[in-house]
């Protein structure tokens, strides 16, 4: 029974409050979760930063959007470029939006027109907002937008610092295996080389604290993918754990893309042979320098593999204009396409796509797994190294492109993924995982069952 049915219709007047972190990779899963809850009869109020805001026009009745902190300076809240300080930006967002959020939350609670607000679901990076909710007596649930393995690793971070492994003191430490976190190495735990260590420590501490201080933690992952890691989380956080992913496959809601996707690439894909195309995309924040861009372009062109490459307007460090090598466009005419933003989930689901060169953001990783597409991994920061390691060592559905980006290595790796037996084996395993993902979101599947539990929990909260 839907939540509305099981509670005699009472949920029609219940509201869930939500607060995503204002970045694409965080907005997507939160708005997918909003859709899942909305489809179960709950109303949804989305608090959001005034920058990188979702578009309310795309959402049906039952949604309300409340901008927070209009007018606060935002220039240092968006981490881009070669010195991108993601952890610092997260801490500043907390600092700057906390007081405005308190005012907004109080106002929303006082209105109470659209039904009682029963809880706040917030991004685990928003510990500052959780403190506000606690103060005003609103229970919180936390959405982790990365995998369970990542939370296990973040929980172990302070102990690794105490042991002197983080930050690494010299190069020789980087490949040291971490026995309690197999298959991770020290290098996979280097969250960022551009944020100060203290800032990273505080940021990760706040994430873990937000989970422990919540009434439950929600993951866009699934039991068959991260069984062991989910069990570890379960054993140590002391709150219920809801693994309800892949969220983008459970939700059917509107797209929460901040940039307009170029849909002409789908027509281009229609003309390509099955499983022949490499999709190349590095998410919403990762960037590269001019030389890396050149090597990438030449490696792709020389591989003679058809490719669809997303070159975001801010892919290059700083504000440099993207310049491709002379003769590149002529060389790849017909075999390659460049867009500034793609409808990624549809691209990965297209039969022409046979491989994904990715930075391994969690959304991208999960979207690739959900479509059975093997990966060439080039992680940049945060959880991406952890995800890449799992892709290569645990699920064996891809491999990492290590070291300096160099055209010959790129060409060789791209060909391995798309044309060699090693890539074919990875594709078979990826398809197997796709089948498991498909099963778990069906009625009675592990994720669908946990959505029921989550909705029951929310609807049983006192209003």
Secondary structure class of 47 (helix, strand, coil): strand
Check if the beta carbon of residue 270 is closer than 8 Å to that of residue 301. no
State which of positions 21-60 bind ligand UDX (CB under 6 A).
23-25, 28
Per 3-state DSSP, what percentage of the chain is helix, strand, and coil (rounded to 5)? 50, 15, 35
Q: How far is CA 262 from CA 283, 293, 321, 343, 345, in A?
A: 15, 21, 19, 7, 13
Of the residues 123, 295, 367, 371, which one makes contact with ligand UDX according to CB under 6 A: 367
Q: Which is nearer to ligand UDX, 69 or 147 (CB)?
A: 147
Residue 257 CB, nearest distance to ligand UDX (Å)? 5
Check if the beta carbon of residue 166 is closer than 8 Å to that of residue 158. no
Q: Which two tokens stand for residue 295?
A: 């090597």
Q: Is residue 123 a contact point for ligand UDX (CB under 6 A)? A: no
Q: Which is nearer to ligand UDX, 29 or 299 (CB)?
A: 29
Of the residues 45, 201, 284, 413, which one makes contact with ligand UDX according to CB under 6 A: 284
Residue 73 CB, nearest distance to ligand UDX (Å)? 21
Calpha distance 15→310 (Å, rounded)? 38
Of the residues 30, 89, 310, 410, which one makes contact with ligand UDX according to CB under 6 A: 310
Query: Is 123 annotated as catalytic?
Result: yes
Question: How many residues of this chain interact with ligand UDX, rule: CB under 6 A?
Answer: 25
Q: Is residue 214 a contact point for ligand UDX (CB under 6 A)? A: no
Calpha distance 154→198 (Å, rounded)? 14
**Segment lying near ligand UDX (by CB under 6 A), choices 59-67, 239-247, 277-285, 447-455:** 277-285
Calpha distance 284→281 (Å, rounded)? 9
Q: Which two tokens stand for residue 65?
A: 């959007």
Secondary structure class of 24 (helix, strand, coil): helix
Q: Is residue 363 a contact point for ligand UDX (CB under 6 A)? A: yes
Q: Is residue 199 a contact point for ligand UDX (CB under 6 A)? A: no
Q: Is residue 279 a contact point for ligand UDX (CB under 6 A)? A: no
Beta-bridge partner residues of 142: 122, 217
Beta-bridge partner residues of 175: none
Q: Is residue 337 a contact point for ligand UDX (CB under 6 A)? A: no
List contacts with ligand UDX (CB under 6 A). Answer: 23-25, 28, 145-146, 257, 261, 281, 283-286, 310, 341-342, 344-345, 361-364, 367, 382-383
Catalytic residues: 26, 123
């Amino acid at each position: 029974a839907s939540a509305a049915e099981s509670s005699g219709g009472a949920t029609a007047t219940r509201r869930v409050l939500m607060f995503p972190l204002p970045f694409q990779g965080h907005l997507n899963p939160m708005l997918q979760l909003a859709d899942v809850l909305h489809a179960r009869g709950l109303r949804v109020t989305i608090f959001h930063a005034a920058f990188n805001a979702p578009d309310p026009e795309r959402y049906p009745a039952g949604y309300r959007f409340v901008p927070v902190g209009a007018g606060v300076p935002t220039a240092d809240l968006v981490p881009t470029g070669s010195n991108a300080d993601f952890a610092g930006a997260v801490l500043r967002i907390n600092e700057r939006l906390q007081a405005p959020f308190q005012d907004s939350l109080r106002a929303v609670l006082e209105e109470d027109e659209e039904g009682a607000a029963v809880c706040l679901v917030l991004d685990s990076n928003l510990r500052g907002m959780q403190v506000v909710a606690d103060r005003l007596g609103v229970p919180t649930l936390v959405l982790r937008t990365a995998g369970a393995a990542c939370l296990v690793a973040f929980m172990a971070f302070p102990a690794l610092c105490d042991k002197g492994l983080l930050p690494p003191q010299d190069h020789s430490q980087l490949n040291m295996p971490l026995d309690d976190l197999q298959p991770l190495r020290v290098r996979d735990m280097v969250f960022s080389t551009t944020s100060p260590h203290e800032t990273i420590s505080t940021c990760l501490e706040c994430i873990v604290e937000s989970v422990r201080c919540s009434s439950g933690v929600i993951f866009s992952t699934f039991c068959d993918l991260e069984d062991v890691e989910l069990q570890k989380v379960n054993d140590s956080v002391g709150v219920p754990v809801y693994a309800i992913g892949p969220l983008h496959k459970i939700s059917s809601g509107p797209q929460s893309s901040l940039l307009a996707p170029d849909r002409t690439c789908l027509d281009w894909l229609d003309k390509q042979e099955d499983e022949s195309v490499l999709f190349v995309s590095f998410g919403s924040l990762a960037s590269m320098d001019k030389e890396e861009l050149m090597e990438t372009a030449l490696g792709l062109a020389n591989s003679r593999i058809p490719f669809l490459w997303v070159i975001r307007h801010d892919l290059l460090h700083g504000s440099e204009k993207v310049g491709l090598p002379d003769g590149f466009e002529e060389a790849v005419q017909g075999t390659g396409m460049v867009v500034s933003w793609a409808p990624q989930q549809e691209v990965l689901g297209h039969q022409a796509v046979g491989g994904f060169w990715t930075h391994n953001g969690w959304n991208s990783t999960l979207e690739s797994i959900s479509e059975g597409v093997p990966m060439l991994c080039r992680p940049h920061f945060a959880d991406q190294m952890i995800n890449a390691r799992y892709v290569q060592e645990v699920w064996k559905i891809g491999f990492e492109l290590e070291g300096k980006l160099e055209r010959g290595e790129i060409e060789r790796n791209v060909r391995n993924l798309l044309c060699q037996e090693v890539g074919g084996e990875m594709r078979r395993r990826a398809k197997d995982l796709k089948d498991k993902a498909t099963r778990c979101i069906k009625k009675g599947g592990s994720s669908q069952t946990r959505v029921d539990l989550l909705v029951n929990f929310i609807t049983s909260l006192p209003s």
